[in-house]
A and B are shown apart, each in its own frame.
Chain A
Amino acid sequence: MARVARWSGDVLPLAIAFALLAIVGIATFVLVLRTQEFIAEVTLARDYQRGVTQLLTIMQDAETGQRGYLLTGEERYLTPFEQARAAAPRQLDVVRKGAALYGILASGSVELAALIEGKLDELSSTVALREAGRTDEALAIVRSDVGVSLMEAIRASLGTLQAAAGDVVRERRDALARVTNILLATVIAGLLLSLVLTLLAIMRLRRQLAEVERARTRLASFNSELEREVAARTSSLRTANDEIQRFAYIISHDLRAPLINVMGFTAELESARADLRNLAPEGDPRIVAVLDDIGESLGFITTATRRMDGLIRAILTFSRLGRRVFTPERIDMTALASDVVAAHRHQAQESRATVTVDRLPDLTSDRQALEQVLSGLLDNALKYIDRDRAPVIHLSGHAHRGTARIEVADNGRGIDVKDHARIFELFRRAGAQDRPGEGIGLAHAQLLVRRLGGMVGVASQLGRGTVFTIELPVDWHPQEDLDQ
């Protein structure tokens, strides 16, 4: 819960800042569009203002052309007059439309049209009179000041219009300035927001970095704690292991001492019995029977003590294997396996077995231990053959990600699934007990492989065959604390 609260407390200002920034962005966009519109409107208003001035210019041009013609009678003065007369209605139309658009001089525009029409008529009529040679009449019209007053009125009307258009331009320009100011403010606000956002993000990042750093420190302390614990466990395991090995050693030593007595004096008894027998070759049959009974008992004692001696030797060997110092070296496993197979050639010939060796991965490990392991497995394969088929034994292997897998596969009598775990225990054997053995071979193999950092596995089916698999590190180095 604390985590969620910290998250929202962290994220909320950022989210708000982001939202505001988005709004500012949209506003800026809109404002820029509006600014463009206002600029266009200002331009239009200015054009209109110029259009009003243009109309006045056209009217003045028309009058100037008329005056020139009236004075000189020369045709060339008529050209500007004609042009102005043609342009005036068009320009008037532009001015009227603009006035309607901007809502200025709505009534005045009708009056202006009449004035312009009147002035053009006055001009046209005087020009027409002059063309007809009636110059005096034309001059009389000019002198009547009708044209002058019409022109005055037009000038006044257009001046008013001009002023109104100027107002429109100013108004639009002010509006543009306002929009521009708002845009500026918005952009500044956006910049400030960005700054705030950056600061927030930096703060958040720093907080998170600090948190990561704290977590890392915690993890490191956990790790070192774990390492200490592992070291402590390793040390106590090592002590326990040492104790077990010492125990095995002492037991095997001390058990042998009384056993020697039992064996030795059993032999003494046996020779005493033989002496007694020799003393009375034709003796009392009851005595002979007793001596035979004694002989039988001594035989059982001898067998049992021999077996016991075998077991004690096995324990001793086992404890020695556990204590031997392993020395890693580079080993050509294919060659090593071939040597082991060669050492078993006689045994293989006896059981008519075919033994083949594939290419095996090379290892850095203890040579003697690996020889013993492979030798033990091969020995088993040759020992527990199935008499009904030609024995075939195959050694193969491969390495993958630093682990080498070596397989010893046979088509022998196989091991019942329920015995798969048991066969690795000391003094335990599986299946028919019809072959010699103490039940220590696989226990030894497992001990050695484990000390070399690996493991031994078995896959087997009764009556089909067995595959023993050894998994070993390709590059093994003894760990000082465990193997000393």
Chain B
Amino acid sequence: MTERSVTILMVEDDPGHARLIEKNIRRAAVNNPIVHFENGGAALQFLWEGDGKDRNAFLLLLDLNLPDMSGVDILRRIKSDPTRRAMPVVVLTTTDDKAEIARCYELGCNVYITKPVNYDSFADAIRQLGLFFSIMHVPEVPAT
């Protein structure tokens, strides 16, 4: 893993969903490394205290319904941190509740994807995301 490559951080408590997401990311020919967290706490720990503390080349796939906290809390935490604010966040959730979507965009999420049962459209969305990954330029913050 080079310093310049973007690592995908996936916060998803449902192992089945995590596996499906990963499979589809790979199928869309996105080869970036994926780090999976089963709860919000572990993801926050990684970003602020753990291995990811000094790096910023991340893309966050965030599930809103987590066992230990709401994905919205994680989103708010990231968007209120000046060094993390630029990190692209893709919110994944089971609902298409308009109020919830609006709230996420307000907090600064970049893309909102409803986890559809319709598997094909989900794969399409992931593939488009792959395209999104490839053109995306994530500025590296110099380590302090």
Contacts from A to B (Cβ < 8 Å): 252-253, 256-261, 263-268, 305-306, 309, 316, 320
Contacts and interface: CB of A to CB of B under 8 A. Distances in A.
A256 B95 CA distance: 8
B115 A260 contact: yes
Contact of B119 (A257, A263, A316): A263
B94 A256 contact: yes
Pick from B20, B94, B117 the residue with the most CB of A within 10 Å. B117
Contacts of A305: 117
Nearest to B98: A320
* Main SS class of interface, A: helix
Given A264-B122, A267-B119, A253 B94 contact: yes
Contacts of A267: 119-120
Contacts of B119: 263-264, 266-267
Given A267-B119, A305-B117, A306-B117, A260 B17 contact: yes
B95 A261 contact: no
Given A260-B17, A263-B119, A320-B97, 20 more contacts: A253-B94, A256-B94, A256-B95, A256-B115, A260-B14, A260-B16, A260-B20, A260-B116, A260-B117, A261-B14, A261-B17, A261-B20, A263-B117, A264-B17, A265-B20, A268-B20, A305-B117, A306-B117, A309-B117, A316-B95
Interface string B111-127: 00001111110100000
Given A264-B122, A316-B95, A256 B117 contact: yes
A260 B13 CA distance: 13
Contacts, number: 48
B14 A257 contact: yes
25 contacts: A252-B95, A253-B65, A256-B94, A256-B95, A256-B115, A257-B65, A260-B16, A260-B17, A260-B20, A260-B115, A260-B116, A260-B117, A261-B16, A261-B20, A263-B117, A263-B118, A263-B119, A264-B17, A264-B122, A265-B20, A266-B119, A267-B119, A305-B117, A316-B95, A316-B97
Interface residues of B, number: 16
A306 B94 CA distance: 15
B53 interface: no
A309 B121 CA distance: 15
A263 B123 CA distance: 12
Contact of B95 (A253, A266, A306): A253
Interface of B: 14, 16-17, 20, 23, 65, 94-95, 97, 115-120, 122
Contacts of B65: 253, 257
Contacts of A252: 95
A265 B14 CA distance: 13
Contacts of B94: 253, 256-257, 260
Nearest to A323: B99
A264 B16 contact: yes
B81 to A, nearest CB: 29
The 10 closest A-B pairs by CB, nearest first: A267-B119, A261-B16, A264-B20, A263-B117, A256-B94, A309-B117, A260-B115, A264-B119, A263-B119, A259-B117
B117 A257 contact: no
Nearest to B63: A257
A264 B119 CA distance: 6
A266 B20 CA distance: 11
